[in-house]
Amino acid sequence: MSDGTLKESVGRYGVWSVGLRSEDPTRRGELAEVAAELQDLGFGAVWLGGNSAARHAEPLVAATSKLVVGTSIQSIWQYDAEESAAAFAELESAHPGRFVLGLGVSHAKLAEQYRRPYSALVGYLDALDAAGVPADRRLLAALGPKTLELSRDRAAGAIPYLVTPEHTAYARGILGVPPLLAPELMVVMEPDPATARALAREALASYLSLPNYTKNFLRHGFTEDDLADGGSDRLIDRVFAWGDDSTIRARVAEFQEAGADHLALQLIDANPRDSLPRAGWRRLAALLG
């Protein structure tokens, strides 16, 4: 990165959001305003969900002076490597050191071309190398051991999604010390257990149909019973940070103690997933201190 290492640039906390990747031209001003506020609140990065690309990052990068914007993730099936490299180069030329290419293989259910995902990802990285996209400016959405090793050897680190502190410790063991480990963490700022878990289950529902996630849960100590009926309380309580401020702070610390350098925090509430929960982000920033 132009102002130091990627780890230093993203800081300890970032915001993960689908809403901030909006392609609606009428929302460009609002997105710019929100990005500037997130930077002022002290977040070091914004992670764009929903199969995002460099073009979704550009308005946020342009509206800020130091906020790092990353894709979380860009599907290798949606954008070919040459296209990705060209978009990276264009954004890098305009705003050096501000964009990070987060890549992933998505899921068989979501990508018609899904075949031999690991080999496809290796080939994609080879093509990015050939096009001049530096390894220290890309991250991989890694869950299993082979992709975590690839994150260590061919990228700046890993951005695992929908994981637990136990997975974070496992990932750190494979990555070693230098690479960035920046797991996503869903946060429900609701102290009532029934309300919080209901919101969490609603957010989790679609992911429980995706084998990449369910196999990872099973690999790290959960059972088929934990995956049934929207997820057991045990699963919800390990995957989500919910509760009052002190409880959420403790859950965040648990991920950090397990080896996370940075947390991509996704606020979960009763609003649509693509909303921009500005009041919630302000509260979260205050909570984190």
- In this predicted model, what pLDDT tens digit does every residue of 207-223 receive, in sequence order? 999 999 999 999 999 99
What is the band of 113 on the pLDDT scale with cuts at 50, 70, 90? confident
Query: What pLDDT was estimated at residue 263?
Result: 98
104 with 160: CB under 8 angstroms? no
Helix (H) or strand (E) segment spanning residue 280: helix 278-288
- Pairwise CA distance, residues 232 & 227, whole Å: 7
Chain mean pLDDT for the chain: 95
> If pLDDT is split at 50, 70 and 90, which confidence band does 2 have?
very low
Enter the pTM of the model. Answer: 0.96
Q: What is the DSSP string of 178-229?
A: SSEE--EEEEE----HHHHHHHHHHHHGGGGG-HHHHHHHHHTT--HHHHST
Q: Tell me the two tokens of residue 28.
A: 């460009």
pLDDT of residue 114: 76
Class for domain 6-187+259-277, per CATH?
Answer: alpha beta
Per-domain residue ranges for the chain? 6-187+259-277
User: Contact at 8 Å (CB) between 5 and 35?
Assistant: no
Q: What is the pLDDT of residue 4?
A: 44
Using one digit for the tens of pLDDT, what is the confidence trace for 129-158? 999 999 999 999 999 999 999 999 999 999
pLDDT at residue 108, as a whole number: 60
Q: Could you give the angle at which helices 165-175 and 245-258 cross, rounded to 10 degrees?
A: 30
